[in-house]
């Protein structure tokens, strides 16, 4: 079973910094339950580089980027 949910809206008062903080808190909470914050094309990620590498295998990520997305900016590279 894989539940999927999204959060839409104007976001919290306090500007971008507060938004990023809350979004990152949500990503960590999902991860703490054994979930993965899979990101779609419409979503931003706020993982630290270390968190990203714990979730997504750097070797696989880099191979896919090399094959399909060298013209796009990277999230993280190893």
For tokens 């270390």, the residue is 50
Please tell me the predicted confidence (pLDDT) of residue 41: 47
More confident residue, 62 or 75: 62
CA proximity to 75, closest of 32, 46, 54 = 46
Whether residue 12 has pLDDT greater than 50? yes
Percent of the chain with pLDDT over 90: 5
Whether residue 43 has pLDDT greater than 70? no
| Predicted structure pTM score | 0.56
Percent of the chain with pLDDT over 70: 82
């Amino acid at each position: 079973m894989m539940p999927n949910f999204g959060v839409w809206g104007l976001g919290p008062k306090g500007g971008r910094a507060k938004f990023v903080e809350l979004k990152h808190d949500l990503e960590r909470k999902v991860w703490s339950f054994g979930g993965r914050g899979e990101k779609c094309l419409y979503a931003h990620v706020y993982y630290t580089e270390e968190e990203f590498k714990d979730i997504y295998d750097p070797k696989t990520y880099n191979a896919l980027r090399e094959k399909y997305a060298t013209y796009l900016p990277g999230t993280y590279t190893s």
